[in-house]
Amino acid sequence: MSSGDTWVYDFSQGSKEQKDLLGGKGANLAEMTTLGLPVPPGFTITTDACRYYLEHGTTPDELGAQVGEHLAALEQAMGRTLGDPADPLLVSVRSGAAASMPGMMETVLNVGLTDESVRGLAEQAGSERFAWDSYRRLIQMFGKTVLGIDGELFDEAFDAVKAEQGTESDLDLDAEHLRDVVDRFKAIVREHTGRDFPQDPREQMDLAITAVFDSWNSDRAVIYRRRERIPSDAGTAVNVCAMVFGNLGMDSGTGVAFTRDPGSGAQGVYGDYLQNAQGEDVVAGIRNTVPLVDLQEIDRPAYDELMGIMGRLEQHYRDLCDIEFTVERTKLWMLQTRVGKRTAAAAFVIAAQLVDEGLIDLDEAVRRVTGDQLAQLMFPRFVSGGDATQLTQGMNASPGAAVGRAVFSSETAVEWTGRGEKVVLVRRETNPDDLAGMIAAEGVLTSRGGKTSHAAVVARGMGKTCVCGAEELDVDTKARRFTAPGGAVVEEGDVVSIDGSTGRVWLGEVPVEPSSVVRYFEGELDPGADDADELVRAVHRILAHADEVRRLDVRTNADTAEDAERARRFGARGIGLCRTEHMFLGDRRRHVEKLILAEDDADRQAALDALEPLQRQDFLEIFEAMDGLPVTVRLLDPPLHEFLPDLTELSVRVAVAEAEGHHDEGQLRLLAAVRRMHEENPMLGLRGVRLGLVVPGLFAMQVRAIAEAACERKRAGGDPRPEIMIPLVGAVQELEAIREEARAVLAQVFEEQGCEVDGLLGTMIEVPRAALTAGQIAGSAEFFSFGTNDLTQMTWGFSRDDVEAAFFHAYLDKGIFGVSPFESLDRDGVGELVRIAVEAGRAARPDLKLGVCGEHGGDPDSVHFFHEVGLDYVSCSPFRVPVARLEAARAALGGDLAGG
């Protein structure tokens, strides 16, 4: 960047549209300043400066001078000088990335306080207690975030002073006690850094700014970005703002407010307030707050002004707003606003409400919700009954039903989850360092904090069940247990259940029931009924509009009539993958064994003849379930030996029988066949189209069963629409050989049955060579279906069953993957093969039907990609069908993956 670059902007210079440059916090502070709201003056150091620092290891040459210019303007506006001994200006230094990352990066308050200026602050404020409390907060936050000192050292020193005074509340400490705390904190800094706490106010500010930049790459920030798919090179802005104080006495305080309930979407007054406190006290959950509505009794003018500002902000942003504010001696100050994080249920309800209020249209409502949120709404919920004992009830911070073994540290949560345990993380209060454990756990339970505490905000953002502020629980993290009312003791490893919708906590496992949204999809709940809940109505309304605007069709992967019927209820418009191998399991394995052991054509045909009527009945039931909609049937794909006993187990069984004098000729023949067909790498062996070419009559039997079932369905007045798919094709010659055989069988069946059924013959594109020669293959295929599971394996050279357990965790930790390529499509590699095949296939055959049937068909990010490249449909499991419907519409409307 050139020497003329601007690295710093005053709050009066920006707008909410500049999030990428000013970060979300800075952009919104600028927006509120422009609106004329009471925002303390300040300035923002841009994300460009952060990226420069992260790339070069030093700040830009011009940054110091630009910060100095804006600091001088801030000092002039406030009529005070940073750290002035007589009347000091104090500032906060806060992070603020473009994407909300609550609690993941650093904040330092009260910057500018020194041994001299603390006395001036006391005189100006008329309160020595306030001044020394502010100074101890600065040293504590600065020591931890800037100097890298273990925060528990400060906590222990503070707790020691409180214990000496016989209290658990910091409010019971007077000025002399807090002066003692400051001395102890300064001693900790000296001991652990080898230097005294900085007494130069500008040095404090500059060090705090670089600490915020450094926090972009802290472990918790990296983990959060990876989970939320936030680009690692975005960087954070830094906001320097004149301090206003909520800890000046009981006529002061700090709070967090929501313009609607972020848990349910209900309209009303929601938030927390804490008298005589600074903002971090609310978020950290160190002291339990009072409901925001209580501010009405504490300070009615400030409450009325806040209500007016909240209404104005919601109208301006056209969305739920999350607001941080401070009252300084009855004067209201706005410290932050942003579009608030919300639960999945609240997202749908609020979107529908805003449509009714005329603030947004239905297109925007679809953009405001996500497929991931819809998937969360389909999770089961607790029902009464069972042997579990209710222990207590806290705040319903983030809904859901979570059952797991109680653990008391983030590290234990990660460790136990890694070995397959389900856990609930129990803490007094969480802090940003607990993020890894929160991600690993089924749910989070805290004894402190409210709906705006760190645990609640982060859990809501992740869709994680959370109960906060369960005050009756005495949580002892060192002893790894908690004690409930009545004396019940829950040790680490005991099973607990927490209900994030009601706040209830149980010892033991509570039974669950389907969610109301699943019951709606199953047809059990009528969204138009008078007693239909608001969530079901909102989901119905938004999905109905999604179906009107999406271009991509949505099918399902189903192998039984039952699955097909359920998927149709969930909105599937056909079957994109019917796996015929699943029809060969159970009692039918013996017919497959006979096919493999056949010694001549007659034995082989007899085995095929036994399988055909079974297959025909399967297909008939599926055609009935999906009448009038396409059904893509994949001919047999896996190696035949998968239907045979395991080689080792069978060898042992035969050897034991021989040792006991039992000679079983059939078992010996079976063992010989298993040995003959054993492959070192069966996924790359005799399977798919290769089976059809090598095993005479196998694919012909399946095609005949499909055709006969279609004719039977048509004679019954139905409308079957079969599509026959040939798997694992790598060369057009393979497809041509099978296609010729299939067409001959179809012609024969239609002649015998006296009927004609329209259908298609196509192939899966799951071998890289098929994608690269798609133009040739399209000449012999009427449709392509991308098998992205195998295509991913073969493109990466991965054996999925092996690599996910072997090294994917390390790849994710090292940032090689942002997400597993089996979970979300690798756009650059596998996606490029899909793009090549789409373009070449359509060039050769303009009417070529294109779909995808791998697991990626239900992944939101992948659905957006499939829309972009021009596929006709995606296919996924029945429970993912509603997710795909919604994301297909969001892709058509240009909605980003984060939603509202």
- How far apart CA 125 and CA 402 sit, in angstroms, is 48
> b/e per residue, 727-738, with b = 16+ CB within 10 A?
bbbbebebbbbb
Instruction: Say if CB 553 and CB 867 are below 8 A apart.
Output: no
Measured distance between the N- and C-terminal CA atoms of the chain, rounded to whole angstroms: 34
- How far apart CA 85 and CA 89 sit, in angstroms, is 10
Question: Residue 889: left (phi > 0), alpha (psi -120 to 50), or beta?
Answer: alpha
Which 8-state DSSP code applies to residue 898? T
Please give the positions annotated as active site. Answer: 454, 853
Instruction: Say if CB 343 and CB 359 are below 8 A apart.
Output: no
- How far apart CA 377 and CA 886 sit, in angstroms, is 13
DSSP string, 616-641: HHHHHHHHHHTTTSEEEEEPP-S-GG
Residue with tokens 């295929």: 781
**What is the enclosing helix (H) or strand (E) of 395?**
strand 395-398
Q: How far is CA 607 from CA 44, 669, 749, in A?
A: 76, 16, 20
Backbone angles phi, psi at 298, to 5 degrees: -75, -45
Instruction: Say if CB 860 and CB 328 are below 8 A apart.
Output: no
Other Cβ atoms within 10 Å of 189 Cβ, number: 21
Instruction: Say if CB 836 and CB 772 are below 8 A apart.
Output: yes
- How far apart CA 156 and CA 164 sit, in angstroms, is 12
Instruction: Say if CB 823 and CB 800 are below 8 A apart.
Output: no
- How far apart CA 127 and CA 190 sit, in angstroms, is 28
Backbone angles phi, psi at 579, to 5 degrees: -85, 115
- How far apart CA 38 and CA 81 sit, in angstroms, is 21
Q: Which residue in 40, 402, 281 sits closest to 30, CA to CA? A: 40
Residues with Cβ within 8 Å of 777's Cβ and at least 6 positions away in sequence, in order, are 729, 732, 735, 763, 765, 770, 784, 841
Residue 188 one-letter amino acid: I
- How far apart CA 321 and CA 309 sit, in angstroms, is 11
- Helix, strand or coil for residue 484? coil
